[in-house]
Structures are given as structure tokens and as C-alpha cells.
């Protein structure tokens, strides 16, 4: 998922196909380890379609994308890429591009339509994912499975508010995870519990730009509820990791962890101690919020406790013990990263429900310097040096191997198949970011194990609808024809050459 696509419309795109404009060096095709995995990534709601096919239940996105007035650019993913019916074709496509890994998510409401721990299983939904996994393995493509990519069953939201009720959600999520481990775990060796909990907490429950758009409803409390959502995610993740380690890991021998998104933040004014502190604090609020409890087994970061006070939930003694016990089990840090921003400390009092640490973000600093050339979305700039710095920040803080579980961009002016296929902007972006990974590995000593491009194909970009195209494969949403872009072949070829050079 492109984590902020939902906040911008097509009108935000600025045409800029040019070179780095002095911001970044040329692509050097630097080497990567011989065992470095490259793959593609998608999410169930964004590509599958088949919204009510074969017994699938409604998710919060099935509801949210049909609201009137629309909050999703007047579009929905009832059909989208129709991957549910075209899965064999899509696996063949991946095979032709030489990918090692396919990261996809399971639709909870496709396998348990009502979502609850006592609700019936939909065997046709289970059969679809069994077929996908088997077909991937037959082509030598390793499945990496995300359990939750933003699409909670609508019924559990109706019953108790989903993430807003920690005890109920945790119990339902544990049952869902157990089903997936039982049915698919003999073949799936890498699991992700949650995708981008920051976005679930803030975008879906504080500013309301993503499903379920909770803050739009009467009686909501944006001062405390987003932090409760994050608390629920952390504890549900830890409970499922604990379950996997005890009941499945010894026989299935897989890895499990979480995927966190985040920008790198530079100070708005590099000479300002307040702005330097703001840049660090912003990353702590963005990533440390989840990574400290999950990967270090500690409380929330001290900066968050000091700023948020009673707004931030407390962990019980049993919950702290669970976090300490499960922290070492997380086998990797799943990193979704797209761009870099500047952070400026604000002097005026924050809003009562501020979630940033009283910090303003921008793409231009105090000297008028931009973080990098703009892509097809105003917030996403080409800034590979920030990516390298973020890799170092995460590695030094957590010392866990990193997998880039999402990275990519939409091209400016990517309006039709002709302009989309010749995607030089995207190729340059990908090349620079792969070079940044190489430098982080070989010059800085950061352990990075793989790279999954976002996304395999153009798809439904949440509240932005179909206005933003992140795919390395073009999709004609009228005919559903797939056409690989030049970036797809660039990735196929560059991984062959980069890994050969490193071996």
C-alpha cells in the first residue's frame, strides 16, 4: 500500500520526468548479496475483486468504498484487478519476471465471512488461497503472507468496534491467525501479522481518511481512541507470535513479524536544535510507537509517554511479560518506505488530539531546498539518501534483519498505457533506492535481506481510488488487460546483474 495515497488526488501530480536536479547521484547498479530476495507485493482488497463471490463477507472497505457521499474518489474495488478470477494468469506473469517472492494478504472476511471466533469458515475462500500458494510454489516463488492489510470484517466492527475493543479483537484475531497457520503454514514460511499499524491507528481512526473512517461517527474520541487501536494491534500481534512459536513454529519452521511504515525525517532547519529534536521525535512517534514494544519488549518510547500522558494506554504486568517473551521471536523488521520529509518544531500549542509530537511536516526546508524530485503524488519525493539513513536508524535501534516489504512510486503523467509502459521516472527511483540498500549493506553494515516492490500491478489505491498507479504492470481497468511496464523488466534484469556482481 502507498501509505498516503489516500490523502491526495490526481490533481496533486506534478509532471517532472527529469533527472535528479542535483539532489541525487545517477543510478550505479551497485551489488546486492547473492541470496538477496526480490519480490512484488499486493493487498487483498486492492486487487482481488470478487467482493461477494463464493461466500465472501463484507469488510470495512466494502462498506467504506460505497458510502455516499463518496470518500474514495467515487470508486470501489468490487472488481479492481479481478485477481480472484485471474490468479493463475497473475502467477504466470510473476514467473515471467523472475521474482523470488510474492507478498500478498489474506482477506479475513473471505475465509471467515463474519470474522468472529465462533463464526463459520468459508471453505471456498480457503481453497482460493491454497490454490494461490500451491501455484506460487510450483513456479519457485515463495509466498509471504500478511494476515491483516486493513480489511477487518465489517461484522466485528459492527459488534464491538474491532480494534477499539482490545480483548474481543485479540480473541477473534487469534482464531483467524490459527486458521491460517493450520491451513497454510505447512507451505508458508514467512508471516506478517499487521501491515502499517500507524496508518490503521491514525488514518483510519483519527483523521478518518481510511476505512472505517471512525472519527466521522458520533461519539468518537480522537484524543484516546487511536492510541487504543495501536495498543490492540501490539497486543494482538504479540499474542499471535506467541501462539505461532508454541504451536506451529517447531513443526512449520517459519518466520513471523510485523510491517511498519515510515518516512525518514530531516530537520527543517539543520541549525535548529528544536528541529533536529523534532526530526528524531517524529520517527519515534511514527515507528518507535510500535517497534519498541514489539521488537525490544519494552514500554512505549519515553518521548511518547511524556507527551501523551494519560492518552496512551498502560500495559499490565502480564502484557509486559508477553512483550518481553515474544520480542526475540520476531525474525525481521518489515519496512514500508517511500520518501523523506522535513520536520519543524511548532511553538504554538498543539491541538488536543495532536498525534505528531507538535511537529509540522513538509517537503521543503528553511532554505527552500526540496527533499527530491516529485513523483506522481505530491508527498512522494525521490530521496534515496533518506532511505539509507532510515535503514541505519532502524538497524542501530533494533538490530533486527530488515526486509523492504514495500517501496515504489507512481510516475508523473502516467495516464495511459503508452506513457505508463515507458516509466523512466519509476526505473530511476527504483534504481536509486536499490543503490541506497547496497550502500547501507556494504558501507554501513546494515543487514537487509530482501526487497518487495510496491506494487505488482496498478490497483485500487484506497481513498485515492484508481487515480494513482504504483504497479510495475499496467492494468486497463476496463478490459483488465495486464501489460508489464519497462520497470518490471528493469527489476528482473537489475537483480540478475546486481546479485551476480555480489556473488
User: Rounded to an integer, what distance in angstroms lies between the CA atom of residue 186 and that of residue 145?
Assistant: 13
Across the beta sheet with 264-267, what order do the strands follow?
A: 264-267, 340-345, 359-362
User: Rounded to an integer, what distance in angstroms lies between the CA atom of residue 173 and that of residue 65?
Assistant: 23
Other Cβ atoms within 10 Å of 420 Cβ, number: 24
C-alpha cell at 256: 513471523
**β 264-267/340-345 pair status:** parallel
For residue 468, give the 3-state DSSP assignment: coil
**Are the beta carbons of 166 and 224 closer than 8 angstroms?**
no
DSSP-derived letter for residue 212 is: T
b/e per residue 151-185 (b: at least 16 CB within 10 A): bbbbbbbeeebbbbbbebbbbbbbbbbbbbbebbb
User: Rounded to an integer, what distance in angstroms lies between the CA atom of residue 268 and that of residue 333?
Assistant: 28
Report the topology of domain 5-502. TIM Barrel (3.20.20)
439: phi then psi, degrees, rounded to nearest 5: -65, -40
Distances (CA, A) of 397 to 291, 338, 339, 391, 448: 9, 20, 20, 10, 14
User: Rounded to an integer, what distance in angstroms lies between the CA atom of residue 11 and that of residue 467?
Assistant: 9
DSSP-derived letter for residue 15 is: -
> Residue with C-alpha cell 499499524?
197
User: Rounded to an integer, what distance in angstroms lies between the CA atom of residue 365 and that of residue 344?
Assistant: 9
Other Cβ atoms within 10 Å of 305 Cβ, number: 12
Q: Please report the pLDDT score of residue 79 as a whole number.
A: 98
Q: Please report the pLDDT score of residue 501 as a whole number.
A: 79
Q: Which residues, at least 6 apart from 98, have a Cβ–Cβ distance to it below 8 Å?
A: 492, 495, 496
Residue 68: is it exposed, middle or buried by C-beta count within 10 angstroms (0-12/13-18/19+)?
A: exposed
Q: Please report the pLDDT score of residue 331 as a whole number.
A: 98
User: Rounded to an integer, what distance in angstroms lies between the CA atom of residue 261 and that of residue 245?
Assistant: 25
280: phi then psi, degrees, rounded to nearest 5: -65, -45
User: Rounded to an integer, what distance in angstroms lies between the CA atom of residue 130 and that of residue 124?
Assistant: 10
CA 1 to chain centre: 5
The residues carrying an active-site annotation are 196, 406
**Are the beta carbons of 193 and 257 closer than 8 angstroms?**
yes
DSSP-derived letter for residue 411 is: P
User: Rounded to an integer, what distance in angstroms lies between the CA atom of residue 170 and that of residue 334?
Assistant: 21
Q: Please report the pLDDT score of residue 23 as a whole number.
A: 52
C-alpha cell at 165: 475493543
Helix ranges, 203-316 (H): 225-243, 249-252, 273-283, 289-291, 302-308
Q: Which residues of the chain have pLDDT under 70?
A: 1-24
**Are the beta carbons of 304 and 285 closer than 8 angstroms?**
yes
Torsion of CA 51, 56, 62, 63, to 10 degrees: 140
Amino acid at each position: 500500500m502507498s501509505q498516503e495515497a489516500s490523502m491526495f488526488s490526481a490533481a496533486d501530480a506534478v509532471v517532472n520526468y527529469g533527472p535528479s536536479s542535483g539532489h541525487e547521484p545517477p543510478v550505479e547498479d551497485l551489488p546486492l548479496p547473492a541470496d538477496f530476495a526480490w519480490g512484488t507485493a499486493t493487498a487483498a482488497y486492492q486487487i482481488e475483486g470478487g467482493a461477494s463471490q463464493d461466500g465472501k463477507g463484507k469488510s470495512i472497505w466494502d462498506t467504506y468504498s460505497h458510502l455516499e457521499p463518496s470518500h474514495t474518489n467515487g470508486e470501489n474495488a468490487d472488481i479492481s484487478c479481478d485477481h480472484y478470477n485471474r490468479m493463475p494468469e497473475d502467477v504466470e506473469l510473476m514467473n515471467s519476471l523472475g521474482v523470488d517472492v510474492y507478498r500478498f494478504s489474506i482477506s479475513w472476511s473471505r475465509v471467515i465471512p463474519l470474522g468472529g471466533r465462533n463464526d463459520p469458515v468459508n471453505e471456498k475462500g480457503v481453497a482460493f488461497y491454497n490454490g494461490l500458494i500451491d501455484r506460487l510454489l510450483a513456479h519457485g516463488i515463495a509466498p509471504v503472507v500478511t494476515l491483516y492489510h486493513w480489511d477487518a470484517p465489517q461484522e466485528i466492527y459492527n459488534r464491538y468496534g474491532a480494534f477499539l475493543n482490545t480483548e474481543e479483537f485479540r480473541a477473534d484475531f487469534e482464531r483467524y491467525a490459527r486458521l491460517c497457520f493450520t491451513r497454510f503454514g505447512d507451505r508458508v514460511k514467512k508471516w506478517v501479522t499487521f501491515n502499517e499499524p500507524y496508518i490503521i491507528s491514525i488514518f483510519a481512526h483519527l483523521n478518518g481518511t481510511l476505512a472505517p473512517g471512525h472519527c466521522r461517527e458520533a461519539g468518537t474520541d480522537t484524543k484516546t481512541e487511536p492510541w487504543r487501536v495501536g495498543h490492540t494491534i501490539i497486543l494482538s500481534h504479540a499474542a499471535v507470535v506467541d501462539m505461532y512459536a508454541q504451536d506451529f513454529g517447531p513443526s512449520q519452521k517459519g518466520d513471523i513479524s510485523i510491517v511498519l511504515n515510515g518516512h525518514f525525517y530531516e530537520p527543517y532547519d539543520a541549525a535548529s536544535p528544536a528541529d533536529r529534536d523534532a526530526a528524531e521525535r517524529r520517527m519515534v512517534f511514527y515507528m518507535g510507537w510500535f517497534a519498541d514494544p514489539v521488537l525490544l519488549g519494552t514500554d512505549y518510547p519515553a518521548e511518547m509517554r511524556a507527551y501523551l500522558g494519560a492518552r496512551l494506554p498502560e500495559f499490565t504486568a502480564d502484557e509486559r511479560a508477553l512483550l518481553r517473551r515474544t520480542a526475540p521471536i520476531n525474525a525481521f523488521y518489515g519496512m514500508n518506505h517511500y520518501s523523506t520529509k522535513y520536520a519543524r518544531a511548532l511553538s504554538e500549542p498543539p491541538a488536543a488530539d495532536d498525534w505528531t509530537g507538535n511537529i509540522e511536516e513538509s517537503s521543503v526546508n528553511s532554505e527552500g531546498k526540496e527533499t527530491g524530485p516529485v513523483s506522481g503524488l505530491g508527498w512522494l519525493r525521490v530521496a534515496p539518501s533518506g532511505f539509507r539513513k532510515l535503514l541505519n536508524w532502524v538497524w542501530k535501534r533494533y538490530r533486527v534483519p530488515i526486509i523492504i516489504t514495500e517501496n515504489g512510486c507512481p510516475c508523473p503523467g502516467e495516464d495511459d498505457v503508452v506513457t505508463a509502459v515507458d516509466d523512466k521516472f519509476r526505473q530511476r527511483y527504483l534504481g536509486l533506492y536499490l543503490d541506497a540498500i547496497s550502500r547501507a549493506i556494504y558501507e554501513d553494515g546494515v543487514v537487509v535481506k530482501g526487497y518487495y516492490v510496491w506494487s505488482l500491478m496498478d490497483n485500487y489505491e484506497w481513498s485515492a481510488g484508481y487515480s494513482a498507479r504504483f504497479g510495475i504492470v499496467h492494468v486497463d481497468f476496463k478490459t483488465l488487460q495486464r501489460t508489464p511496464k519497462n520497470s518490471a523488466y528493469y527489476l528482473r534484469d537489475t537483480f540478475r546483474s546486481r546479485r551476480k556482481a555480489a556473488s
